[in-house]
Amino acid sequence: MYSSFTMPIDPWPQQMNDYKKGEEVGSGNFATVYRGSLASDPSKKCALKVIK
């Protein structure tokens, strides 16, 4: 039996230039994590994970 399932649409922008990168939070073998915010709305905070 199949059920009706829809994936929610992600409201966040998908391009790196849609964000402002802040200070580095942490780093590992594969990526570095930065504090960030939306370029269009700096009150919306996020974390940016940049793969090495």
- Binding residues for ATP, by number, are 49
Structure token pair of residue 12: 């966040």
Residue positions forming the annotated binding site: 49
Q: How far is CA 38 from CA 4, 10, 28, 48, in A?
A: 33, 14, 24, 11
